[in-house]
Structure 1
């Protein structure tokens, strides 16, 4: 049996029981943790990841927020400015749209510490229930720009990231904890926001890379998902 004290606080059937998997991997000496979902299919037989310390030629772009919002829509930089990721605040959509979806600049940092790396998913990516209800015909047909190089998120710029195709290096293992007091649909999103803020304090950054998996999504109730989100 698993002898972790957190076990007593994890409800049966909760997505947050992934915390046990994190702890077990750490106990076994993991230096890198890759996480995904059971409806994501790898495009190749290998898990793609970048080194944790990157030079500008490996990571040529940095995304930054503009005047009206601290958020950016990373999907816009990978070819889909009219799609937004799950967790993107709905009340920020107008602000980001008016500022311009695509806001990147060249990376002139000597090095980037890419401790957390989020890669995208083709076909049925991680969008929220409102998008799915409003744009049902696009679901299952979405493909991101495979030629877009990885993009770092500038400090004090926020983007939702999830647990569906994500690499975390040892230096950011403290940020793997999934809260148990939120709904299933947002536990990883809330985790991602506070982790990003603390990541900047240790010199780390979140980076996004193009799709390396296809999502063949399990059956969901969009209405229930919307309530949970």
Structure 2
């Protein structure tokens, strides 16, 4: 909301500040925050303009935390505040200095250096004295802080160590675009307020094997109204995104999470996108759709939202090339070896479930192990579209992160995951995929009865012409008939229809 801002925010920085959406970062691992800041329901202290309390203490505390490399976390609402009746104009007059000098306070703290650097205690004392000299604090405030520090020492408090002056923020987004070992990454996430009492919401994750350049706007227009959020995943470089015309121009804001080209490796590890989105910790999500950017998803088709859905399940192909390179059996061996030395209880639990699932659905014998199936060269799952309900998402993310860390190929990773869970498949199955010269006939083979079809290359519709005309005459025309005119002349899969094996 443009007319509201955090309490105590310097008024002179409301329009010119650098804390924009481009600063959003997603990190896999972080140290526990030293301070947890909860939010407040009902009457929070936000400004519009007449309400600011003593927030300078929080500015100073944050500077002290940064001297030791410590952080503040913001957590969901944990209090409800009902304001008592009071005189807003009197509040404003009483707090006039806060409005006038908050900017000066922030500027001083930003530039301030601790000259002593012997201990955090000494730095805190020096800071309070410098604030007095600058007229931003009273001497009584500084004396009170000194007494507080003495009391802390009396009760045995140990001050944290100071960080080095050349300290590098470990939670800054990675700038190494050639490494798969990424802890923190660029992202952006914005969405409209959603009533938590509404029925379950789903998230659509759209994945590009290569750096995003074109097609974002087209995908947004087709799917955005029907999902709680669309998150674009892959190598995201905003200056490379191209808009051709209003028909396909990007709609802002865009939700995305960045995977560098080494992490994507031409789409070999695109399944990691769903893991990254799951790790964002979104609330009130019913499930996650994973879709390649060149897949068409007929979202009116009925699927079972309570279990995993895959277009065709798995197909037997023991001679599949990827078993015989570094992303197949070699990766599987490395995964198995890593589990022998694992001490992560969450991963151990996921692996146990993985093994039990393979037994439950008949892929290994009762006395067998997950290793038996992983080394068996048993099938593949072409995975440009699938769905994972929230009930299975934590298991998916935990298991698939381990697969990603050891370079296990997409169609093998999803294949063996499917074998361990109860999943549903579509009517068209493997026929949802077009191969070789048949790909050129997508406009003839597309059907409203499909759950999805791959590939339909959005780059072909970049400019007006015959390919765009075909797209409008087939896919968009079908969508318009069904979504806007109520056409129901199509086939959906009934709940009692037989799935592929393991359905």
TM-score by length of 2: 0.20
Higher relative contact order (CA 8 A, sep 6+): 1
- Report which of the two structures shows the higher radius of gyration computed on alpha carbons: 2
Higher strand share: 1
Higher helix share: 2
